[in-house]
Structure 1
Amino acid sequence: MQELVKINNLSKKYRKNSFYSLKDVNVTINDGDIIGLIGKNGAGKSTFLKLITKAINPTTGSIEYKGQNIHQADNVLEPFGIMIETVFLPYLSVIDNLNFYLEIHNKTEYKDNIKNTLNLVGLWAHRNRKPADFSFGMKQRVALAIALVTEPSFLILDEPFVGLDPVGVSNLIDILKQWASKRQVTMIISSHQLEELESLCTRYIFIDQGQLRKAFNKNVALMEIQTTKLSDDLIKTLKQYGQTVEYNAQNNKIVISKDISQKDLNNLLLILTQAQVINSISNNNSQLKGFFDTEKG
């Protein structure tokens, strides 16, 4: 895949703080990636998104989009659809907000998309209402509609599932999947709703305490094995299976990827059985939940 975004030694320290909100982040994003941005509240996710969208300037480091430094070039984010904070005018109706957005960005050719977009986020019936009196969830939906209406080639969405009912969430995920497969839309989606991220994303970026802890590909776990405390020799044996097997010594848990071969799986289960270290075996359908478990401590 073609490299689309290159982030080099990216750091941000706000003047009022004695600490860095983001420190020395290095990561690349490829064309067509659907990135799930994960981390606890206050980890630095919002700062990361604001830097990518030029809402704030970095203290050090750079972000390049198609080889251009976004903080040194004009109109470089033209193909982006961005939902980070509410950007609408609260005393204009919903439909007038979308029309105004398209007019000031000289994208009036997308006005025919307004009805479908508002239907997608469940706001067509409320199109003539003003968002000033909306709930937080409905305001999120207005911001989401603005981000989607121009069918951008790069989407940056912060908590896009908030305020949508289950049908709305399912419809949005289906649309985003279609855009990814048919139009190669690249996406960065920050959300605490891990199940929705796992149904959509192909890669993940985990930020903790302002640092990039791990960037990893989607890798659905096949099973989890709860064990007794393993010997050093057994731990060395597990490492021979590479990324298909992860072991967390703190909670004595082995996570086995679905990418493991049948031969390796049989050999591993035989080794663990002979060592008499298995307490329980369970299916694990949540890679992210398991990942957070392994990152505790």
Structure 2
Amino acid sequence: MLKISNLSKQFTGNDFYSLDDVSMEIQKGEIVGLIGKNGAGKSTLMKLMAKSLKPTQGTITYKGEDIHSRDNVLDDFGIMIDPVFYPEMTVLDNLKFYLKLHGKTDLYDNIEPTLKLVELWESRNRKPKGFSFGMKQRTALAIALVAEPDFLILDEPFVGLDPIGVQKLIDILKQWSSERQISMLISSHQLGELEALCSRYVYIEDGKLADSFSGKEHPSIMVHLDGERDWDFILPILPLLDDDVDLDGTVLEISTKTNAEKLNKIFGILAEQDLITKVDIKENHLKDIFMKG
């Protein structure tokens, strides 16, 4: 859906590239996590994708079309990089103005559920100029979500949300990815939230794409089984083994992505035969990737 080819950015006056020869693709319905330390080039990459910066070299194509070939190529995008809104307009008027500007006044009914999602419905008649940083972030997030975009670019979307709000946002983004096939690039230092959401990750270091890996690296539940027991128990579990559930010796590794129906089946089989000896958590290696170097 979106293809980045040999993308580089060198700012005037610098003798180095802030982004250096990055190539990657994002498929339809895919949620990609963008991780890296401060100053690594994440924001530069997202701003290039949003056309707020022009590349020094390389191209970005969306649905096969160069994003710089004409105006409004990114009309289907929802973008939250820096908080952008009119501080002297109410939150409600900001969203109405955004939809009107994009010719989507038929989506006014989205405003209330969107503001409730980001916990701003009660503040809808307030002006963002007096908001805290977190509330400003949530205002920008609401603007990015309200127009039912086909592609989302989100920088630190969880900032300012309480744990319930974070979970609601994760749930709705996963639902959009699954049901509406919306593609997303999400950058955050809140690695646990990314782990719960993303299907793939890219790691930027010193302006270069240093690593890319799939969502199989989600945290896993490690279920230790009684190795002294009759191994006939494995037979009903075999059909449940896949990318999210793996049996290695006497340890059953279950991704935290696994749906509730499958979890209930697995634990029902194991509990019925008293096979569980211990349960612990295998953490995602996002933190290790982030801390390296």
Q: TM-score, normalised by structure 1?
A: 0.78
CA separation in 2, counterparts of 1:73 and 1:205?
A: 28
Deviation at 1:28, TM superposition (A): 1.1
Question: What pairs with 1:86-125 in structure 2 (closer than 5 Å)?
Answer: 86-125=83-122
Deviations 1:222-259 (A, max 9, x none): 599xxxxxxxxxxxxxxxxxxxxxxxxxxxxxxxx977
Deviations 1:109-145 (A, max 9, x none): 1101101100000000000000001000000000000
Q: Counterpart of 1:235?
A: none
Deviation at 1:159, TM superposition (A): 0.4
CA separation in 2, counterparts of 1:68 and 1:157?
A: 22
Pick aligned residue for 1:289 from 266, 270, 287 = 287
Pick aligned residue for 1:213 from 204, 210, 213 = 210
Would you say the 8 A contact 1:93–1:128 is kept in 2?
A: yes
Pick aligned residue for 2:26 from 29, 33, 43 = 29
**Partner letter of residue 80 of structure 2?**
M
1:190 and 2:176 aligned:
no
Deviations 1:139-161 (A, max 9, x none): 00000000000111111101000
Would you say the 8 A contact 1:140–1:160 is kept in 2?
A: yes
Deviations 1:241-285 (A, max 9, x none): xxxxxxxxxxxxxxxx9776636989xxxxxxxxxxxxxxx8422
1:166 and 2:201 aligned:
no
CA separation in 2, counterparts of 1:206 and 1:161?
A: 19
Question: What pairs with 1:1-297 in structure 2 (closer than 5 Å)?
Answer: 4-220=1-217, 262=248, 283-293=281-291, 296-297=292-293
Would you say the 8 A contact 1:219–1:259 is kept in 2?
A: no
Deviation at 1:29, TM superposition (A): 1.1
Would you say the 8 A contact 2:115–2:124 is kept in 1?
A: yes
Q: Is the partner of 2:54 in helix, strand or coil? A: coil
Q: Is the partner of 1:147 in helix, strand or coil? A: helix
CA separation in 1, counterparts of 2:43 and 2:245?
A: 33
CA separation in 1, counterparts of 2:71 and 2:249?
A: 54
Distance 1:112 1:258, change over 3 A: closer
Give the CA RMSD over aligned residues: 2.1
CA separation in 1, counterparts of 2:140 and 2:160?
A: 11
Deviation at 1:7, TM superposition (A): 0.9
**Partner letter of residue 193 of structure 2?**
E
Name the % identity.
Answer: 58
The structure 1 segments of at least 4 consecutive aligned residues displaced by more than 4 Å after TM superposition are 221-224, 257-261, 263-266
CA separation in 2, counterparts of 1:197 and 1:93?
A: 31
CA separation in 1, counterparts of 2:95 and 2:221?
A: 46
Deviation at 1:57, TM superposition (A): 0.3
**Partner letter of residue 138 of structure 1?**
M
Q: Is the partner of 2:186 in helix, strand or coil? A: strand
CA separation in 1, counterparts of 2:43 and 2:121?
A: 29
Q: Counterpart of 1:231?
A: none
**Partner letter of residue 134 of structure 2?**
G
CA separation in 2, counterparts of 1:91 and 1:64?
A: 35
**Partner letter of residue 46 of structure 2?**
L
Would you say the 8 A contact 1:5–1:64 is kept in 2?
A: yes
**Partner letter of residue 61 of structure 1?**
G
Deviations 1:45-87 (A, max 9, x none): 0000000010110000000111111012221111111111122
**Partner letter of residue 35 of structure 2?**
I
**Partner letter of residue 289 of structure 2?**
F
CA separation in 2, counterparts of 1:27 and 1:263?
A: 37
| Unaligned ranges ≥5, structure 2 | 223-242, 253-279
| Unaligned ranges ≥5, structure 1 | 225-256, 267-281
**Partner letter of residue 115 of structure 2?**
L
Distance 1:283 1:112, change over 3 A: closer
Q: Counterpart of 1:275?
A: none
Would you say the 8 A contact 2:37–2:290 is kept in 1?
A: no
Q: Counterpart of 1:241?
A: none
